[in-house]
Amino acid sequence: MELNTNTKIDDLLKQYPFLLDFLITLSPKFKNLKNPVVRKTVGKVATLKKAAAIGGLNVESLISTLSVEISKQTGNLPASGESVAASQGEILVDPKERQHGLKGIIRDLHDGEDMEALKQRFRGLLRGVEATEIAKIEQALMNEGLPAEEIKRLCDVHVEIFKEALEEQDRPETPPGHPIHTFMKENRASEKIMSETSMLMGRLGQPPSLEAFEAHSRALGILIKRLSEIDTHYTRKENQLFPMLEAHHFTGPSQVMWSLHDDIRAQLKQAREAFDGNDPVPTVTSLKEAIQTIRDMIYKEEHILFPTSLDMLTQNEWIRIKEGEADIGFAWVAPDKGWPEEIVEASKEVSTEPVEVLKEVAGVLGMDTGQMTLEQINLMLTHLPVDLTFVDENDRVAYYSAGPERIFPRSPAIIGREVRNCHPPQSVHMVNKILDAFKSGSRDTAEFWIELGGKFIYIRYFAVRDTNGYYRGTLEVSQDLTQIRKLEGQQRLLEWE
C-alpha cells in the first residue's frame, strides 16, 4: 500500500499490525489506538495527516519514520507520496489553504455562480476533501454571519459539488450497540419502508387514480404511519447527539439539519392529512418529497455528520449519548447488544456525581412553608400532572421533571444545554423574545396552546425572580388539558368506577 497524508490509520494497521506498538513510542497520545473500539470508529476516518496533528508530529516526518520501520520489519520499502497526481501542482494540501478554498467555493455557490464551473474549480484545487472539513466550513461560514437558512437552502447543491470526494470515503463502521450503529440501523430500516412505499405509489398510476388509491388505501396508510416514525430518529439526534457537538462549539451543521428534520416532518404531516382526506395527488406528491428529503438526509448523516461526530466526540461522550437514548426511544429497531459492555473500564470513568451528591446530602431542607427531603422533592416534582423544565439565568437547561408520561421528549443530554439550541431554528426568535422580556422585567408570563396528536396542550412560561426581584431563570410548564376541557357540572363524591 502507498503511504501518504490521506492513508487511513485503520488500513495502515491492518496491513502492518506491528505498527500499533511502534506508533505509541512516537507519541503517548496514540495509546488510544490500543482500544479496538477506537480503531473501529476513529481509525476508519482518521488519516495520517490527522494522526500527526493529534500526536503533535510533522506529517512528512511521521510518514518517513513509518516507512523506515516498515522496511526494517518487512524488508520492503512502501511506496509513498500524495494521493493526488503530482501533475496537478495547483492542488491545495495546506489545511488553512484548503479551508479557504472550500469557503470560497461555497460562498460563490451561494452567490449564484454556475455549479458545473464550481465543480471544475473544486477538482482543480481540492481533492480527497473529508467530511469533517465540509462540516467545519459550514460552521465557520455561520460564525461569519451566513444564516443557517441560507446554508440549508443550498445544502444539497454544495454537497453535490463535494460528492465525488465523499464517495471515495468509507461510511463509518461502529460496533453493534454504539449510537452511530443504531442510527445507521434505523437508516437501513427507513430505506426498506421507503422502497415499499415507492413501489406501492407506482401502482397508483400517473397521475394517481382515485380507484387505485382506494384499492391500496389500507397498505398505503400503514406505510405512511410507519415512515412517520422517523420522527423518533430525528428527535434522538436533536436531543442526544447535537448537545454533545454543541459542547465542542459545533452548532452550525446541527442547526441546518434540525431545520431539514422539520421540513420532513411537515411533508409527512401533509401526506397524512391528504391521505385522511382521500386525496390521491397531494398524498403522493408529499410522500415523494418526503422520501427524497429523507434519502438526502441519510447521505448527509452517513457521509458528513456521523464521520465528523466520531472524529470530534470522546468515548465518554458517546457513553453519555448511549445512556440517554432509551429516554427518547428508537425508530423501527432496537439497539444491538455489545457496546459499551466491551469497554467497561471506560464506562466507569463516566461521572455519576449528581446522583451521588443527592445521596450524600439527602437530609431535611427547610423551605419557606415547610420542610422536605431531596427525595421527597424529587418525587413530588415527578408526580405533578404537568411537565416542568427550568432554565437558569445563564439560559442553560438546569432541570426537567422526568414524569411517566412527558408531553415533549427530554433526555439527560439537555442538562447544561443552551436553551436556544433546544428549539428548531425557526422558533429561536420567539425564545429570544420571551427571555429578553423576562430579563428586562417587562413581562412575567407567556402562554401558548396547541393541538398535538389529538391532545390539547397548554404551555406556559414564568419568569422566576428572587426576593429582591432579580431574574433567576425561566420555568416552562406544559399540561395536557384534553380531559379537563371536557369537564362539566360538578363531582362532589369520590367516583372511581
Measuring CA to CA, which residue among 460, 456, 457, 494 is closest to residue 474?
Answer: 460
Q: State mean pLDDT over 26-30.
A: 79
User: In this structure, are 16 and 133 located in the same domain?
Assistant: no
In a domain, 67, yes or no: yes
Confidence grade of residue 146 (pLDDT, cut at 50, 70, 90): low
User: In this structure, are 221 and 244 located in the same domain?
Assistant: yes
In a domain, 112, yes or no: yes
Quick one: pLDDT at residue 130? 64
Among residues 320, 346, 372, the one where a domain terminates is 346
Confidence grade of residue 353 (pLDDT, cut at 50, 70, 90): very low
Phi, psi for 144 (deg, rounded to 5): -85, 0
Confidence grade of residue 396 (pLDDT, cut at 50, 70, 90): very high
User: In this structure, are 342 and 418 located in the same domain?
Assistant: no
Q: State mean pLDDT over 148-175.
A: 64
Strands (DSSP E) contained in 453-497 are 455-465, 471-480
Would the pLDDT of 171 be above 80?
no
In a domain, 373, yes or no: no
Confidence grade of residue 346 (pLDDT, cut at 50, 70, 90): very low
Would the pLDDT of 355 be above 90?
no
In a domain, 190, yes or no: yes
Indicate the pTM of the whole model: 0.64
In the predicted model, what is the mean pLDDT of the chain?
82
- Of residues 403 and 475, the one with the higher pLDDT is 475
User: In this structure, are 206 and 325 located in the same domain?
Assistant: yes
Confidence grade of residue 244 (pLDDT, cut at 50, 70, 90): very high
User: In this structure, are 237 and 338 located in the same domain?
Assistant: yes
Quick one: pLDDT at residue 91? 54
In a domain, 209, yes or no: yes
Quote the percentage of the chain above a pLDDT of 70: 77
In a domain, 359, yes or no: no
User: In this structure, are 240 and 323 located in the same domain?
Assistant: yes
Confidence grade of residue 215 (pLDDT, cut at 50, 70, 90): very high
User: In this structure, are 327 and 192 located in the same domain?
Assistant: yes
Would the pLDDT of 266 be above 90?
yes
Pick the range with the lowest mean pLDDT from 68-82, 266-280, 423-437: 68-82
User: In this structure, are 324 and 390 located in the same domain?
Assistant: no
Would the pLDDT of 260 be above 80?
yes
Are 37 and 175 in contact, with CB atoms under 8 Å apart? yes
Domain span at residue 39? 2-80
User: In this structure, are 47 and 139 located in the same domain?
Assistant: no
Quick one: pLDDT at residue 98? 61
Confidence grade of residue 359 (pLDDT, cut at 50, 70, 90): very low
Highest mean pLDDT among 93-107, 226-240, 336-350, 373-387: 226-240
Task: Quote the number of domains for the chain.
Answer: 4
User: In this structure, are 61 and 199 located in the same domain?
Assistant: no
User: In this structure, are 204 and 331 located in the same domain?
Assistant: yes
Cβ-proximal residues to 125 (8 Å cutoff; 6+ apart), any chain: 90, 91, 92, 101, 105
The 445-452 sheet, strands edge to edge = 397-400, 387-392, 471-480, 455-465, 445-452
